[in-house]
Amino acid sequence: MRYDAAPDSRLDMAPTPRSRNARVLKVRRVAIDTHRENVAYLHRDCSVYRTEGFRALSKIEVTNGRHHILAVLNVVDDDAIVSRNELGLSEPAYAQLAAKSGARVEVGHAVRPESLEAVRRKIAGERLDQDAFRRIVADITDNHYAKTEIAAFIVATGQNELDRDEILYLTRAMVESGERLDWQEPLVADKHCIGGIPGNRTSLLVVPIVAAHGMPIPKTSSRAITSPAGTADTMEVLANVELKIADLRRIVREHRGCIAWGGTARLSPADDVLIAVERPLGIDSQGQLIASILSKKVAAGSTHLLIDIPVGPTAKVRRMRDAQRLRKLFEYVGDQLGIHLEVIITDGRQPVGNGIGPVLEARDAMRVLQCDPAAPMDLRQKALRLAGRIIEFDPDVRGGQGFTIARDILDSGRALEKMQAIIAAQGAPKHPCAPGRLSFEVKSPRSGTVTGIDNLQLARIARYAGAPMAKGAGVDLFRKLGDRVRSGEPLYRVYAEFAADFRFARELCVQGTGYTIGRASDVPPVFVQA
């Protein structure tokens, strides 16, 4: 297969339109998953390709009378992919057009979205208003942007820092891009961690505890952006997370809680499109982060929200003053959106729990719910503190009583029962997941005390091992800050599903284990409380 090079923009001019019949082709399904991007395939010798003046990587419009889509064009020379009278469509494009193979469609040049002018202005450093963000987000949601254009928007809003009003405008636009739930209740709770700490899977504990208390908590989560696992990725090990709106409503009304991926329910769908591009770019700016989190929560109908901001030397937020600034931005946007929002700053010096990666994180959470002696105590304590703060949103609960109530719910087994009910309602997976079949241990090079754990390096190792796409991939920690270790003793074990991922992860561990071994006096102090 050969692709045309991108043309000189000065020569990329559409010819005079011809009759509609001259632009009609047969649809062919091309079994390529282009991950949320519509891609079309034309043979180089196709008459429409030549007469219409199409170019590779340009956008075309495809219409079947009932639906129309915009797609990025790839030009091929292989008859096995598409013949000269066919238009190939990638899996997302084929599904969106809702046309059967062999059906006739009309193709033409796509009109360039007018909102791209606003993106160019943002690249130049201009401030955008509410209408500009609405038009940009609407075009992104309707698949009018190619991935390169979405990337331009992400880089522009990341590099040229959004002010607090622009963050508010972006958040509102993202809420308006999809469905919005209304639970008809005065108090609907939720929590969210901004990320950056591997293994910090407190939502799988907070949701059943709070739901068992009787407070509605419809937890909608995104998949991982730069981490080895998001909440949705981890919950997917235990239950189906791709819930339709009707199913989500039913489960929350019956069980008071759920843990679902927001993409299927079309809650802030623009966020999922942006995340799909942010992930490979590794970009997660403050403005986009706030808009992403709050748009999902508002769309899910939350009235009360707890935000967890971990702070540490290798966390996403590394200085207390940055955390405080981020807290003020969250509070400002939350107030404008009518959400009761509280921010808690927590200890981000090291991973929370033992497992990093979907299967290992799900294992840790279930051990805590089962009150297993092998359960990681730090994960248990942090989850109880967060759940306690949310329970205190209840006007019938006195301040300071939330932790005790949360602990009683967990220790009594009520949280486990609630989690089992939620899993059953969402649908347990047909094939249970297990840690990857390939593994190796990383050992301490010397004796001493663990004085530092690099969150970024361990997350990178887990991702190299295949997480979160390979559910069983990840890192299982044996030592935490302050632990004594002898030379040659294992610090952690890495799991992988595939040989290539196994090799990449092993090579990365050779470059750096992510652990610092020194004297007990060198352990950094805790300067924030979980």
Give residue-wise pLDDT tens across range 309-332.
Answer: 999 999 999 999 999 999 999 999
In angstroms, rounded to a whole number, what is the distance separating the alpha carbons of residues 493 and 242?
31
What does the pLDDT read at residue 9?
38
Please report, as a single letter, which amino acid is at residue 382. K
Please check whether residue 70 is in contact with residue 145, taking contact to mean a CB–CB distance below 8 angstroms. Answer: no
Comparing 206 with 220, which gets the higher pLDDT?
206
In angstroms, rounded to a whole number, what is the distance separating the alpha carbons of residues 430 and 394?
37
Give the domain ranges of the chain: 9-109, 116-176, 189-265+284-426, 438-522
In angstroms, rounded to a whole number, what is the distance separating the alpha carbons of residues 103 and 89?
12
Residue 522 pLDDT more than 70? yes
- What is the H or E stretch that residue 219 is in? strand 217-221
Please check whether residue 202 is in contact with residue 308, taking contact to mean a CB–CB distance below 8 angstroms. Answer: yes
- What is the H or E stretch that residue 381 is in? helix 377-391
Asked which of 38-47, 256-265, 355-364, 437-446 is least confident by mean pLDDT, the reply is: 256-265
- What is the H or E stretch that residue 26 is in? strand 24-29
What secondary structure does DSSP assign to 465-524, as a single string?
TTTTTSTT-EEEE---TT-EE-TT-EEEEEEESSHHHHHHHHHHHHH--SEEEE-GGGSP
Asked which of 1-10, 78-87, 230-239, 242-251 is least confident by mean pLDDT, the reply is: 1-10
Q: Which residues pair with 292 in a beta bridge?
A: none
Residue 362 pLDDT more than 90? yes
In the chain, the N- to C-terminal Cα span, in Å, equals: 55
In angstroms, rounded to a whole number, what is the distance separating the alpha carbons of residues 76 and 63?
21
What does the pLDDT read at residue 75?
95
For the question of residue 284 being annotated catalytic, the response is yes
Residue 240 pLDDT more than 50? yes
Looking at domain 9-109, its CATH architecture is Beta Barrel (2.40)
What does the pLDDT read at residue 277?
82
What does the pLDDT read at residue 313?
93
What does the pLDDT read at residue 134?
97
CATH topology of domain 189-265+284-426: Pyrimidine Nucleoside Phosphorylase; Chain A, domain 2 (3.40.1030)
> What does the pLDDT average to over 150-179?
92
> What does the pLDDT average to over 442-456?
97
Same fold, 9-109 and 438-522: no
What does the pLDDT read at residue 17?
44
In angstroms, rounded to a whole number, what is the distance separating the alpha carbons of residues 161 and 495?
38
Calculated CA dihedral for residues 256, 258, 262, 267, nearest 10 degrees: -10
Q: Is 284 helix (H, G, I), strand (E, B) or coil?
A: coil
116-176 falls under which CATH superfamily?
Transferase, Pyrimidine Nucleoside Phosphorylase; Chain C (1.20.970.10)
What secondary structure does DSSP assign to 292-348, as a single string?
HHHHHHHHTT-SEEEEEEEE-TTSSB-SHHHHHHHHHHHHHHHHHHT-EEEEEEEE-
Nearest residue to 378 (alpha-carbon basis) of 503, 477, 467, 302: 477
Looking at domain 438-522, its CATH architecture is Alpha-Beta Complex (3.90)
In the chain, pLDDT over 90 holds for what percent of residues? 75
- pLDDT class for 528, splitting at 50, 70, 90? low
**Cα–chain center distance at 501:** 21
Catalytic residue among 139, 272, 284, 308: 284
If you average pLDDT over every residue of the chain, what do you get? 91
Query: What does the pLDDT look like over 90-147, one tens digit per residue?
Result: 999 999 899 889 999 999 998 889 999 999 999 999 999 999 999 999 999 888 888 8
- pLDDT class for 393, splitting at 50, 70, 90? very high
